[in-house]
């Protein structure tokens, strides 16, 4: 931390010598490995952008010049270089965000952490500055090759190409990976650009040979020089970017600080739009993060920094339950196919991909395309299962509504990380999905209370051939199975009461909370019946019928309370002129700061004590 302690902002970086810069880069890597291994976080992406980020801050003047990171998980180095050195609080409540945060620093701009948006932000910022006459301010967008697979990035590039005079620099951080290796036509194209370095190296070798053995060297050099352009046009046609009207520089070694600075200074001085293609290695400088298990280091929990192995063995996850059941279904039914958007490993499709590689489609960071492709697969006689994080379904709502639901296509959506996710902050909480899908005609949504119910719901979902189905579950270790003590039609009864004062409706993973609330109320002489609708949207007639047994109804859900199951149930009762009160407990309509899942749930009042106290007051008030 010797040199790093002296860096309070980008200006301090510019006074360092070449030797000091190399020392600082090593310090940063050592610090990141030590710190993130204690807190968890995005390790591999940040180790890969140390020199690249240093070069950006040496060439440009943040915050006068604006740096936009896409998706922002690779901004740890940027945080360090802008004076934020207390990584002991990283992703903890009240501490540093795992993404850029305007509340933390004037150097941070975009904090939504959803991929492929940086170029749209950048052209907006650059255009706004131009309109205001601020022509001396540059905008720099740092986008990975994974994010460049997103359609929104290409919409922005198309628009950027029509405005070539903007002082806008696009830095493509090409490490061949998002979570896993980047695939698709764009990945193949960037690979062809990387190959151009080989031809430059051979040509350089020919020049050296010319000086050592003039006759042979001259023949070799002339031959290479004569065919170089033709070879590069075939093998590395960077003309695609240039044909769009974008000046292209690269490929540049993203770990060669001097080379990166040179390329960025050329881009800075060009006076218009420039695309700088930087080749980096995810996890660079940390052997465990660059071996065969490199994908595991995209985001890590607490690990041993020397070995890279987890210090705590986690239990079986909700994702594991889905993954195993889907694999069983795929073995039984040849029509089952799976799609995801660069989330193959995190959403549990890697096992399926290994066993049935022709039936799994990772389309890149392109949720809209994934959902409409799924509609097409359904039309062709397959049953697609689209697995994404709950927060990313937001990006494909139109396709869910118009391509799947309107056309009555049987597509199953698996929403991982639903509800409060915690440490990744506001943009990653999966709190909007039920509010969005609740307005989709014909759609059915299940919220399993445990791993066994995930398996049951998945089998039921893939049998629906004429409408979309959704299954949502949270992040983390799966809950212990909760056995129903009875059933009322499609609704499971988790706690019975013959003449209940309160019908408590439990949604999904909050079943254990609901049961604990019932125990607390029962200790005060309030009788409570706890039910789990299983398929929670639309509201079933069985659930409505059950409400008639109690004086009041309460719903507890890990979802936006204003537009969730409770709100839908209340609307059903109002439609039947039922005056029975429906009290709802869920996530408030606000963006939630990062913290552990437990801390966030406590902050918003979704704990047994808080809910029980509130219900006691309401029932006796």
Which H or E run includes 535? strand 535-537
The reply, when asked if residue 73 is annotated as ligand binding, is: yes
Smallest CA-to-CA distance from 404 within 418, 385, 430 is with 385
Q: How far apart are CA 437 and CA 394, in angstroms?
A: 10
Render 284-302 in DSSP notation, one character per residue: TT-GGGTSTTGGGGSSB-S
List, as own/partner pairs, every contact residues 301-308 make where C-beta atoms lie below 8 angstroms and the sequence separation is at least 24, other chains included.
301/40, 302/37, 302/38, 302/39, 302/40, 303/37, 303/40, 304/37, 305/33, 305/34, 305/37
> Quick check: is 266 catalytic?
no
* Beta pairing, strands 486-488 & 469-472: unpaired
Q: How far apart are CA 506 and CA 619, in angstroms?
A: 18
Smallest CA-to-CA distance from 270 within 40, 579, 59 is with 59
> Quick check: is 367 catalytic?
yes
In the chain the first and final C-alpha atoms are separated, in Å, by: 59
104 contacts 76 by C-beta, under 8 angstroms: no
Smallest CA-to-CA distance from 410 within 348, 356, 357, 468 is with 468
The reply, when asked if residue 286 is annotated as ligand binding, is: yes
The reply, when asked if residue 284 is annotated as ligand binding, is: no
Q: Which residues contact 55 (CB under 8 A, 6 or more apart)?
A: 257, 260, 261, 264
Q: Please calculate the CA angle 365-127-147 and round it to the nearest 5 degrees.
A: 10
Give me the catalytic one of 111, 321, 367, 557. Answer: 367
> Quick check: is 545 catalytic?
no
What the block records as the tokens of 464 is 């629906």
The DSSP code for 591 is: P
Return the residue matching tokens 């808080």: 610
- HSE-CB at 239 with a 13 A cutoff on CA atoms is 7
Q: How far apart are CA 550 and CA 496, in angstroms?
A: 12
Beta bridge partners of 552: 502
The reply, when asked if residue 147 is annotated as ligand binding, is: yes
Give me the catalytic one of 58, 282, 449, 455. Answer: 282
What the block records as the tokens of 207 is 């020049």
Q: How far apart are CA 616 and CA 519, in angstroms?
A: 12
Q: How far apart are CA 352 and CA 347, in angstroms?
A: 11
**Beta strands, E only, 218-363:** 247-253, 274-279, 336-340, 360-362
Smallest CA-to-CA distance from 286 within 34, 89, 5 is with 34
**DSSP three-state, residue 553:** strand
Peptide bond just before 340 cis, omega within 30 deg: no
Smallest CA-to-CA distance from 118 within 156, 145, 82 is with 156
The reply, when asked if residue 387 is annotated as ligand binding, is: no
The reply, when asked if residue 145 is annotated as ligand binding, is: yes
Smallest CA-to-CA distance from 363 within 380, 340, 338, 396 is with 340
**DSSP three-state, residue 230:** helix
Give me the catalytic one of 92, 129, 395, 449. Answer: 395
Residues that constitute the known binding site for Mg(2+): 145, 175
Residues that constitute the known binding site: 73, 113-115, 145-147, 175, 286, 367
Active-site residue numbers? 282, 367, 395
Residues that constitute the known binding site for thiamine diphosphate: 73, 113-115, 146-147, 175, 286, 367
């Amino acid at each position: 931390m010797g040199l790093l302690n002296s860096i309070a902002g980008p200006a301090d970086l510019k006074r360092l010598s070449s030797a000091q810069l190399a020392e600082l880069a090593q310090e940063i890597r050592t610090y990141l490995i030590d710190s993130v291994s204690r807190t968890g976080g995005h390790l591999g992406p940040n180790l890969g952008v140390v020199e690249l980020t240093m070069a950006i801050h040496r060439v440009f003047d943040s915050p006068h010049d604006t740096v936009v990171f896409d998706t922002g998980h690779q901004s740890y180095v940027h945080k360090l270089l802008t004076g934020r050195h207390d990584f002991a609080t990283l992703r903890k409540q009240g501490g540093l965000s795992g993404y850029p945060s305007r509340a933390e620093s004037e150097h941070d701009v975009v904090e939504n952490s959803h991929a492929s948006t940086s170029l749209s932000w950048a052209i907006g910022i650059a255009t706004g500055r131009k309109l205001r006459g601020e022509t001396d301010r540059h905008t720099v967008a740092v986008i990975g090759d994974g994010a460049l697979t997103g359609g929104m990035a290409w919409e922005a590039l198309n628009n950027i190409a029509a405005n070539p005079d903007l002082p806008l620099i696009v830095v493509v951080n090409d490490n061949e990976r998002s979570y896993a290796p980047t695939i698709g036509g764009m990945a193949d194209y960037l690979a062809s650009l990387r190959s151009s370095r080989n031809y430059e190296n051979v040509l350089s070798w020919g020049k050296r040979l010319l000086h050592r053995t003039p006759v042979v060297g001259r023949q070799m050099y002339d031959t290479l020089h004569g065919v170089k352009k033709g070879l590069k046009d075939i093998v590395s046609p960077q003309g695609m970017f240039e044909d769009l009207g974008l000046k292209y520089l690269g490929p540049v070694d993203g770990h060669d600080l001097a080379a990166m600075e040179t390329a960025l200074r050329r881009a800075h001085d060009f006076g218009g739009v420039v695309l700088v293609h930087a080749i980096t290695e995810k996890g660079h400088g940390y052997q465990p993060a660059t071996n065969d298990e490199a994908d595991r280091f995209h985001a890590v929990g607490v690990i041993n920094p020397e070995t890279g192995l987890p210090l705590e063995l986690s239990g079986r996850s909700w994702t594991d339950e889905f993954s195993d059941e889907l694999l069983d279904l795929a073995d039984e039914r040849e029509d089952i196919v799976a799609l995801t958007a660069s989330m193959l490993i995190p959403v549990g499709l890697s096992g399926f991909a290994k066993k049935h590689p022709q039936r799994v489609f990772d389309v890149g960071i392109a949720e809209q395309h994934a959902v409409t492709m799924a509609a097409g697969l359904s039309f062709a006689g397959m049953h697609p299962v689209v697995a994404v994080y709950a927060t990313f379904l937001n990006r494909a709502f139109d396709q869910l509504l118009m391509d799947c639901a309107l056309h009555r296509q049987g597509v199953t959506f698996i929403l991982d990380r639903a509800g409060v996710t915690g440490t990744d902050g506001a943009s990653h909480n999966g709190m909007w999905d039920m509010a969005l899908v609740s307005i989709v005609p014909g759609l059915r949504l299940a919220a399993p209370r445990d791993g066994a119910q995930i398996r049951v719901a998945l089998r039921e979902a893939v049998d629906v051939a004429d409408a979309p189905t959704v299954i949502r579950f949270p992040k983390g270790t799966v809950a212990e199975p909760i056995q129903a003590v009875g059933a009322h039609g499609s609704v499971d009864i988790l706690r019975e009461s013959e003449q209940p004062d309160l019908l408590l409706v439990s949604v999904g993973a909050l079943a254990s909370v609901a049961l604990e609330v019932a125990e607390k109320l029962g200790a005060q002489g309030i009788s409570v019946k706890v039910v789990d609708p299983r398929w929670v949207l639309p509201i079933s007639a069985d659930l409505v019928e059950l409400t008639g047994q109690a004086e009041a109804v309460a719903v507890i859900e890990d979802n936006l309370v204003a537009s969730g199951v409770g709100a839908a149930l209340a609307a059903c009762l109002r439609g039947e002129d039922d005056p029975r009160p429906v009290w709802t407990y869920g996530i408030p309509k606000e963006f939630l700061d990062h913290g552990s899942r437990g801390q966030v749930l406590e902050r918003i009042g979704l704990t047994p004590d808080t809910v029980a106290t509130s219900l006691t007051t309401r029932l006796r008030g």
